[in-house]
């Protein structure tokens, strides 16, 4: 199921492999695909919550992006 979700996600936007200083990846790994799926799920949930809770909108998009990165990778 994750493979199908990752393939669908890849068609909409490229999945960029997460790079580290000690290991260079030329293609996305399963971990990268899984993290990208998690990010999409969290973004959908945040958008749904923001529609009903004005406090969520107080966080800037860069803060949300950093929190998503920390939670998903």
Give the residue extent of every domain in the chain. 29-73
Q: What integer pLDDT is reported at residue 3 of this predicted model?
A: 86
- Residues 28, 15: Cα–Cα separation, whole Å: 7
Q: What integer pLDDT is reported at residue 20 of this predicted model?
A: 86
Match 């999945």 to its residue by tokens.
15
Return the SS3 of 13.
coil
pLDDT, tens digit, for every residue of 15-72? 988 888 898 899 999 999 999 999 999 989 988 888 888 888 788 888 888 998 898 8
Q: What integer pLDDT is reported at residue 19 of this predicted model?
A: 87
Residue with the bigger pLDDT between 3 and 34: it is 34
SS3 per residue for 14-34: CCCCCCCCCCCCCCCCHHHHH
pLDDT, tens digit, for every residue of 23-36? 889 999 999 999 99
């Amino acid at each position: 199921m994750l493979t199908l979700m990752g393939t669908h996600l890849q068609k909409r936007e490229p999945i960029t492999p997460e790079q580290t200083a000690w290991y260079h990846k030329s293609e996305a790994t399963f971990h990268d695909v899984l993290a990208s799926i998690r990010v999409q799920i969290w973004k959908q949930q945040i958008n749904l919550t923001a529609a009903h809770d004005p406090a969520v909108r107080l966080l800037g998009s860069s803060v949300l992006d950093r929190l998503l990165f920390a939670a998903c990778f």
